[in-house]
């Protein structure tokens, strides 16, 4: 009776869900964070609306701003969607595991990556994600799980989600030093300088983020160079290295070899590597939301545990990937890879003939230095240039200032377009730029 009364009494009092030693200490750091700005991409479409109002609703416009191959290129072939639907019908509509399904894991490991078993990695190192941003947020939360306020190192002109995604997860983003003439690429010295600064500020380095091909610059790093940078970061004190390879199939050299990277590191250091890949760019599957992570088993375990209380992945997005991987991904993605490669040649030739500084490797993008046009037109930055080009010439690009101050005079040109469209778009771009001279 006494025991029953004690249990009854216990249930009538407030109680914390976890013991005192594991409770989160009170901190007001979020009250002092900078407000995360909304995307300014809506401004791009507004400028074209103004152009159509002036020139007529049927006026021809050119959009080199976006990186959605499902919009500007054919996107996912119908036969892959049909194959995915068949798998969905067979699967039914029950929940998946927080990491996806066994079929996705095995297909990604064996058919897509062809992971060498000697690396010690396999299907259990793979986690399915609902798109690249979901994958990145899972990574950020995993590497910030021990403490907030540490550092993520990114390039000098990073993709917007590399800045605000980690910041929202409690990480401080550190822009690495770099030379515009070299595409702001990392060097071992620039990585060590970032880590030294973090340590002087009593912060640890949670990770170095390597992306190739890069967004926004299009800069491409050979795998051997990525390995050198990753090794430098780990040896200098970074806890992890993240490889964002979302664009690596859309290259003239072919996809990156994950086995070459894994085999370059000792088993204990492989556990500190994280890879992100998916269908968004290579298959033009932006709205399919299909991506995945490869990571050491402790990271996979942490992310899986957290995901079980969050987003449970949809099967159809996995089914699209499974179908494409089983088909042979080079064949599956040909409708994106081939026109993008042709457009790359068209744009590189046009930019070289225009005699402007530019960065261009592979992927979807070129980064163009528009300083001389800004100065001639008395424009303060690339956002003002966007407005001028969109409203007066019906062509839009992404202002480099949206990525960082280092890109204030630059614009990102997306050539994820049919080659004929790229040719017309770059011609209209330089008509607008040259009108400022």
- Report the alpha-carbon distance of residue 114 to residue 122 in Å, rounded: 9
- Report the alpha-carbon distance of residue 397 to residue 351 in Å, rounded: 15
Angle (nearest 5°) at CA 206 between 205 and 209: 95
- Report the alpha-carbon distance of residue 307 to residue 397 in Å, rounded: 36
Are the beta carbons of 293 and 105 closer than 8 angstroms? no
- Report the alpha-carbon distance of residue 426 to residue 437 in Å, rounded: 17
- Report the alpha-carbon distance of residue 359 to residue 373 in Å, rounded: 17
- Report the alpha-carbon distance of residue 70 to residue 194 in Å, rounded: 37
Q: Looking at the domain 42-65+333-434, which fold is it?
A: 3.90.1150
Shortest CA distance to 259 belongs to which of 373, 362, 116?
116
Are the beta carbons of 119 and 262 closer than 8 angstroms? yes
Contacts for 142-145: CB closer than 8 Å, 24+ residues apart: 142/295, 142/299, 142/302, 142/303, 142/306, 143/171, 143/206, 143/207, 143/239, 143/240, 143/242, 143/274, 144/169, 144/170, 144/171, 144/206, 145/302
In order along its 437 residues, the chain shows pLDDT tens digits of 555 555 555 678 999 999 999 998 899 999 999 998 887 776 788 899 999 999 999 999 999 998 899 889 999 999 999 999 999 999 999 999 999 999 999 999 999 999 999 999 999 999 999 999 999 999 999 999 888 999 999 999 999 999 999 999 999 999 999 999 999 999 999 999 999 999 999 999 999 999 999 999 999 999 999 999 999 999 999 999 999 999 999 999 999 999 999 999 999 999 999 999 999 999 999 999 999 999 999 999 999 999 989 888 999 999 999 999 999 999 999 999 999 999 999 999 999 999 999 999 999 999 999 999 999 999 999 999 999 999 999 999 999 999 999 999 999 999 999 999 999 999 999 999 999 99
- Reported in sequence order, the residue ranges of 322-373 that DSSP labels E, i.e. its strands, are 358-359, 365-369
User: CA–CA distance from 402 to each of 165, 231, 234 (Å)?
Assistant: 15, 31, 30
State in words which class domain 78-332 has.
Answer: alpha beta
CATH 3.90.1150.10 maps onto the chain at: 42-65+333-434
Burial profile 174-190: b = 16 or more Cβ within 10 angstroms, e = fewer: bbbbbebeebbbbbeeb
The pTM of the full predicted model, rounded to 2 decimals, is 0.95
DSSP label of 405: G
């Amino acid at each position: 009776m006494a025991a029953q009364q004690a249990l009854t009494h216990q249930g009538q009092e407030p109680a914390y869900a976890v013991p005192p030693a594991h409770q989160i200490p009170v901190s007001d750091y979020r009250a002092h964070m900078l407000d995360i700005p909304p995307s300014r991409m809506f401004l791009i479409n507004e400028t074209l609306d103004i152009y159509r109002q002036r020139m007529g609703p049927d006026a021809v416009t050119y959009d080199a701003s976006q990186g959605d191959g499902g919009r500007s290129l054919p996107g996912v072939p119908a036969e892959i969607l049909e194959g995915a639907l068949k798998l969905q019908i067979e699967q039914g509509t029950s929940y998946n595991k927080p990491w996806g399904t066994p079929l996705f894991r095995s297909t990604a490991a064996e058919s897509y990556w062809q992971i060498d078993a000697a690396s010690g990695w396999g299907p259990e190192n793979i986690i399915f994600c609902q798109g690249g941003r979901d994958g990145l947020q899972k990574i950020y939360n995993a590497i910030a799980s021990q403490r907030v306020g540490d550092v993520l190192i990114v390039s000098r002109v990073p993709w917007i989600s590399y800045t605000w995604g980690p910041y929202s997860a409690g990480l401080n983003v550190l822009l690495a030093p770099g030379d515009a003439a070299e595409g702001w690429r990392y060097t071992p010295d620039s990585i060590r300088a970032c880590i030294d600064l973090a340590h002087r500020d009593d912060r640890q380095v949670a990770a170095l983020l390597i992306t190739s091909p890069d967004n926004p610059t299009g800069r491409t790093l050979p795998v051997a160079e990525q390995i050198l940078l990753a090794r430098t970061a780990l040896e200098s004190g970074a806890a992890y290295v993240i490889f964002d390879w979302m664009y690596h199939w859309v290259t003239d050299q072919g996809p990156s070899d994950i086995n070459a990277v894994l085999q370059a590191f000792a088993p204990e250091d492989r556990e500190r590597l994280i890879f992100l890949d998916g269908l968004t760019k290579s298959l033009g599957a932006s709205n399919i939301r299909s991506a995945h992570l490869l990571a050491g088993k402790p990271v996979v375990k942490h992310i899986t545990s957290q995901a079980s209380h969050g987003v449970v992945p949809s099967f159809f997005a996995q089914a699209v990937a499974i179908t494409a991987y089983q088909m042979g991904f080079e064949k599956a993605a040909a409708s994106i890879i081939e026109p993008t490669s042709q457009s790359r040649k068209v744009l590189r030739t046009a930019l070289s003939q225009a005699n402007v500084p530019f960065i261009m490797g592979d992927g979807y993008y070129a980064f163009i230095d528009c300083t001389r046009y800004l100065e001639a037109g008395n424009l303060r930055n690339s956002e003002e240039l966007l407005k001028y080009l969109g409203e007066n010439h019906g062509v839009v690009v992404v202002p480099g200032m949206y990525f960082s101050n280092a890109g204030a005079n630059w614009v990102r040109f997306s050539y994820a377009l049919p080659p004929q469209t790229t040719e017309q778009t770059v011609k209209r771009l330089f008509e607008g730029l040259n009108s400022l001279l």
